[in-house]
Amino acid sequence: MKPFEQIASKIDSELHHYLPRKWKKIGDIVILDLSKIENEKEKIAEIYAQVLNVKTIIQKNKISGELRKPEDTELLYGKETVTEISEYGIKYKLDLAEIMWSPGNTGWRSALSGPEKVSEFYTFDKPKTIIDYFAGIGYFSIQMAKGYPETEIIAIDKNPRSIEYLTLNAKNNSIDNIKIINDDCRNIELKADVIHLGYIGNTIDFLEHAHNCLNDNGTVIFHEAYRNNWLGFKSRSEWGTIPEKFAKLMDENNFTVQKFERVKFYGPSTSHIIAKLKKN
For binding to ligand SAM (CB under 6 A), which residues are involved?
A: 66-68, 100-102, 105, 109, 133-134, 136, 139, 156-159, 162, 184-185, 198-199
* Nearer CB in complex with ligand SAM: 44/130: 130
* Nearer CB in complex with ligand SAM: 100/204: 100
**Closest residue by Cα to residue 192 from 132, 130, 254:** 130
Least Å distance, CB 199 to ligand SAM, is 5
Least Å distance, CB 185 to ligand SAM, is 4
> Could you please report the per-residue DSSP string of 28-45?
TEEEE--TT--S-HHHHH
* Nearer CB in complex with ligand SAM: 45/60: 60
> Could you please report the per-residue DSSP string of 229-270?
HHHT--SGGGBTBPPHHHHHHHHHTTEEEEEEEEEEE-STTE
Q: Which residue is nearest to ligand SAM (CB)?
A: 134
Q: Which alpha helices (H) appear in the chain, and where do they start and end? A: 3-9, 41-52, 116-119, 141-147, 160-172, 207-213, 228-231, 244-252
Least Å distance, CB 246 to ligand SAM, is 20
* Nearer CB in complex with ligand SAM: 133/260: 133
Beta 270-279 vs 56-59: how paired, if at all? unpaired
Least Å distance, CB 41 to ligand SAM, is 28
* Nearer CB in complex with ligand SAM: 53/64: 64
Least Å distance, CB 167 to ligand SAM, is 14
d(CA 25, CA 196): 27
